[in-house]
């Protein structure tokens, strides 16, 4: 279902994943839950795009994966940031601030009332 929120989410999924992982390694489900919890369920991760995104980022070398065991003794694939991923996160965050700042400016200085 395409909502304004999910559209924005698509373009920034990578950034969200990187940021989530910056708190520590976790598996795909964990990333989804973290984002939902942080945003109090406003942002629901489109799970159809989560795993391809994870695989793409692994191919690019931003994250790495390893099989591990959860608390419930289940086998799960854990992802973690690589050095390149950390660097990418920093840059993306900086870009995001600039981007949102610019958009905010445009919105606020519109000649017509919103």
Partner 1 sequence: MSTPRHLLRYLRFWGGRRKSDIDQEIGFHAEMRARDFMARGMSAGDAERAAWERLGNIDHARQECLTIIDRQERRMNRLLFLDTLRQDVRFAARTLWRQPTWTAVAVLTIGLGIGANTAVFSAVDGLILHPIDFRDASRIVTVYRANPALRFSVSPTFQQAVVWKASARTLDGVEAFATTEMTLTGQGDPKAVKAGHVSETFNDFAGIPNILGRGFLATDTVQGAAPVVVLSESYWRRNFAANPAVIGATIALDRRPRTIVGVASRKLRLPSSFTGPVDLFVPFRNEVAPGASVAARLRKDVSIAAAQAEMDSLSARAHADKPINGKLMTAKLIGLGDGVWFRKPLLMLLGAVALLLLIVCANVAHLLLARGAARAREFAIRRAVGADAGRIVRQVLTESLLLAGLGCAIGLAVGQAGIRAIIALRPRNMSQLADIGLDPRVLVAAAIAALATGAIFGLVAARDAMRTSGDALKTATAGTSASPRRQRMRMVLVTSEIAISAMLLVGAALLTRTVANLLRKDPGFHADGLYSMQFQLPDNWGDSTRRRLLATELLGRVRTLPGVESATIASSPPGTAGAIFGDWETDGGAAPAPLGLTAMIEARPEHFSVMAQRLVDGRAFDAGSRRRDEIIISEAMAKRLFPDRRAAGRRARIASPGAPPNAQPGWQTIVGVVANSAVMGLGSSESDFAMYSPTETATDFGGPTLIFRMKPDASPPMTELRKASLAVAPGFPPPTIVPAASTLNESIAMQRFTMTLLTAFTVLSVFLASVGLYGVIAFIVGQRTREIGIRMALGASRGTVAGLIGSQIAWICGIGLVAGFVAAGFATKTLRSMLYGVEPMDPLSFAAGALILVTVVALACLAPMRRAVRVDPAITMRAE
Count CA atoms closer than 13 A to 98's CA, side-chain side. 6
Q: Is 59 in the site for partner 1 (CB under 8 A)?
A: yes
**Selected range binding partner 1 among 9-17, 54-62, 88-96, 98-106, rule: CB under 8 A:** 54-62
Minimum CB distance to partner 1, residue 58 (Å) = 7
Binding string, 14-53, against partner 1, x = CB under 8 A? -------------xxx--x-------------xxxxxxx-
Q: Can you tell me the distance from the alpha carbon of 45 to that of 66, in angstroms, rounded to the nearest whole number?
A: 22
Q: Is 61 in the site for partner 1 (CB under 8 A)?
A: yes
Binding string, 85-114, against partner 1, x = CB under 8 A? ------------------------------
Q: What is the DSSP string of 62-112?
A: SEEEEEEE-TTS-EEEEEEE-HHHHHHHHHHHHHHHHHHHHHHHHHHT-SS
Kindly state the DSSP code that residue 23 receives in the 8-state scheme: T
Q: Which two tokens stand for residue 41?
A: 């369920």
Residues that bind partner 1 (CB under 8 A): 27-29, 32, 46-52, 55-56, 58-61, 64, 74-77
């Amino acid at each position: 279902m395409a909502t304004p929120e999910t559209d924005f989410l698509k373009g920034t999924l990578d950034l969200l994943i990187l940021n989530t992982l910056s708190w520590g390694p976790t598996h795909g489900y964990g990333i989804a839950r973290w984002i939902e919890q942080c945003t109090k369920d406003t942002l629901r991760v489109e799970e159809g795009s989560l795993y391809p995104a994870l695989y793409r980022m692994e191919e690019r070398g931003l994250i790495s994966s390893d099989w591990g065991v959860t608390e419930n003794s289940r086998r799960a694939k854990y992802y973690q940031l690589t050095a390149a991923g950390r660097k990418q996160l920093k840059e993306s965050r900086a870009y995001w601030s600039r981007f949102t700042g610019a958009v905010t400016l445009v919105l606020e200085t519109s000649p017509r009332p919103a």
